[in-house]
């Protein structure tokens, strides 16, 4: 059978070069896949060996179980200490505000409920005999170093006697933490 080549010598060199490049590409791709699978296997083997090593240490070395228990207890205590530290940083002494509130409240004004909202807003509901006593209470609270803002609804101030009121007092947290 005769061999007939219709390609020019330059095209024959180009075809040979392309075949060599394709073969090189396939070999490199095969090596990459082989290395990837091998490295995954080695990583799995390393993890299993580390676990087995830790298990052997805990079983064979006297006192290692106790050390592991102590380390766990230390981690728990450290977490609790962090929680306590955060709580201390967020703590505000309320005693000075309550003592001040008792001294600023006129005798005919009764505070029936008090709520602290968002750590900085005090909502008080109560009863005053007269508008003058409620205004006196309002003026005293506004002069307090612990008050940033004070809101009493106008409907409470519109009545002359036997007033059920609501006071929203925004507190000066910096003055509290300075104590």
Cβ-contact 165, 134 below 8 angstroms = yes
Class of 95-177 in CATH = alpha beta
Residue 24, both tokens: 């090189």
DSSP strands (E only) in 25-80: none
Cβ-contact 58, 70 below 8 angstroms = no
CB 125: neighbour CB atoms within 10 A?
Answer: 13
What pLDDT, in 10s, does the model give residues 46-91? Answer: 999 999 888 877 777 777 777 778 888 999 999 999 999 888 877 7
Q: Name the residue ranges covered by the structural domains of the chain.
A: 10-50, 61-91, 95-177
The pTM (predicted TM-score) of the whole model is 0.52
Going by C-alpha positions, the residue among 115, 124, 172 that lies closest to residue 148 is 172
What pLDDT, in 10s, does the model give residues 100-134? Answer: 889 999 999 999 999 988 878 899 999 999 989 99
């Amino acid at each position: 059978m005769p061999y007939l080549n219709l390609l020019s010598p330059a095209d024959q060199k180009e075809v040979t070069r392309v075949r060599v490049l394709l073969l090189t590409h396939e070999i490199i791709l095969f090596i990459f896949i082989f290395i990837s699978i091998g490295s995954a296997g080695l990583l799995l083997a390393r993890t299993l060996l580390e676990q087995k090593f830790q298990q052997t240490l805990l079983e064979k070395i006297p006192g290692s179980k106790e050390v592991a228990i102590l380390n766990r207890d230390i981690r728990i205590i450290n977490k609790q200490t962090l929680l306590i530290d955060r709580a201390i940083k967020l703590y505000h002494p309320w005693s000075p505000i309550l003592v001040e509130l008792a001294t600023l409240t006129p005798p005919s004004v009764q505070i029936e409920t008090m709520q602290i909202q968002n750590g900085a807003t005090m909502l008080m509901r109560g009863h005053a005999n007269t508008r003058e006593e409620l205004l006196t209470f309002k003026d005293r609270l506004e002069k307090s170093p612990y008050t940033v803002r004070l809101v009493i609804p106008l409907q409470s101030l519109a009545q002359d006697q036997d007033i059920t009121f609501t006071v929203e007092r925004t507190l000066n947290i910096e003055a509290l933490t300075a104590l």
